[in-house]
């Protein structure tokens, strides 16, 4: 092809050329296809020999050309297949002295990923020195790595959510813990929607632990948590805030009626005996309640409300236990519900 090389007897077979340039295209002086590399043959289909270049390719650069030799004057060729998936190519052209034709060497450029996908190409379809396949592997590896990173981030996010939920949950009962109660109280104090707080304390619990053992005590705590969940409204927060202390936070409450209904349901449930290994665990619940402010008041804190609920709670204990007492805004204490304990 080069004058000096020909004088030295330089020759190159079509198969050798295809091995070095698997996407070469040989056009004669009339623009007909006389030969092509194995990869380009795969893309063009079986009936390509002898067809005009423009029957198979759409030449985008240069847009205007008169004969094939004018292709060699373009620094960079741009073209695509006329038929779907319209694969794009870039390339260069050099003249062939033997027949006035040209030799084009094509590549996919940035479209290599789409070409590999659309035509099912593998590394054997590229020259051994072509870096495209290595870059493709790197791109695929990057995609895979980013996918794993995304999955890991999702897992970490899920683990973080689980850890945060666990940090707000009592391990034994599954209720909220003191931290959950404190966070909810801060929100309710700023919501200006009104709320109620019921502080509950388990009576005779120490006697259960001392006589039946700590396993029986844990069983009682789980059963009490089930009773409180069943008695509270769906959106109410039920929390275990101490060994045998519980709190129910009731959002949107502005008077005693909803508190009384919940208290009576709790006492009704408490009439059913709690059994452990056939032994009756004799416990009772004393309750003290308070209604929170309906407007934001910086002078009232969560500690203030807990203190008022505690006053009402101990009034319930003093009055005989197994009852609910409300601490009113006036400071008065009013019994809302009670049950008689067996002798």
Beta-carbon neighbour count of residue 296 at 10 Å?
10
**Structure letter (DSSP) for residue 21:** -
The answer to whether the CB of 248 falls within 8 A of the CB of 201 is no
Distance CA 36, CA 222 (A): 80
Assess whether 244 carries a catalytic annotation: yes
Question: Which listed residue (201, 244, 277, 297) is catalytic?
Answer: 244
User: Which residue in this structure is represented by tokens 């689980």?
Assistant: 162
202-206 long-range contacts (CB < 8 A, ≥24 apart) are 202/244, 202/245, 202/246, 202/283, 202/284, 202/285, 203/283, 203/284, 203/285, 203/286, 203/317, 203/321, 203/322, 204/282, 204/283, 204/284, 205/243, 205/244, 205/283
CB-based contacts of 276: which residues, under 8 Å, 6+ apart?
212, 215, 216, 219, 220
Catalytic residues: 244
């Amino acid at each position: 092809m080069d004058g000096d090389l020909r004088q030295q007897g330089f020759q190159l077979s079509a198969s050798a050329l295809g091995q070095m340039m698997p996407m070469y295209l040989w056009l004669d002086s009339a623009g007909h296809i006389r030969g092509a590399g194995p990869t380009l043959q795969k893309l063009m289909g079986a009936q390509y020999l002898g067809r005009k270049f423009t029957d198979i390719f759409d030449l985008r650069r240069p847009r205007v050309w008169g004969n094939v030799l004018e292709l060699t004057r373009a620094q960079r060729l741009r073209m695509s297949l006329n038929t779907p998936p319209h694969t794009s190519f870039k390339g260069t052209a050099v003249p062939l002295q033997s027949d006035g034709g040209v030799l084009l060497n094509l590549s996919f450029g940035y479209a290599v990923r789409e070409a590999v996908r659309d035509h099912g190409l593998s590394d054997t379809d590229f020259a051994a020195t072509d870096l495209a396949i290595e870059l493709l592997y790197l791109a695929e590896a990057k995609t895979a790595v980013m996918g794993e990173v995304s999955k890991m981030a999702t897992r970490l996010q899920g683990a973080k959510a689980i850890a945060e939920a666990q940090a707000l949950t009592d391990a034994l009962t599954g209720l909220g813990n003191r931290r959950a109660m404190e966070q909810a109280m801060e929100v309710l104090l700023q919501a200006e929607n009104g709320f109620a707080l019921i502080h509950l304390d388990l009576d005779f619990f120490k006697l259960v632990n001392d006589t039946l053992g700590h396993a029986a005590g844990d069983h009682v705590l789980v059963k009490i948590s089930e009773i409180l969940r069943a008695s509270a409204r769906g959106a109410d927060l039920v929390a275990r805030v101490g060994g045998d202390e519980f709190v129910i936070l009731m959002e949107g409450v502005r008077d005693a009626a909803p508190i009384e209904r919940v208290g009576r349901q709790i006492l009704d449930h408490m009439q059913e005996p709690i059994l452990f290994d056939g032994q009756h665990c004799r416990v009772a619940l004393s309750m003290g309640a308070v209604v929170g402010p309906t407007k934001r008041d910086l002078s009232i804190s969560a500690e203030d409300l807990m203190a008022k609920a505690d006053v009402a709670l101990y009034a319930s204990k003093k009055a005989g236990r197994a009852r609910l007492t409300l601490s009113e805004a006036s400071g008065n204490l009013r019994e809302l519900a009670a049950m008689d304990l067996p002798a």
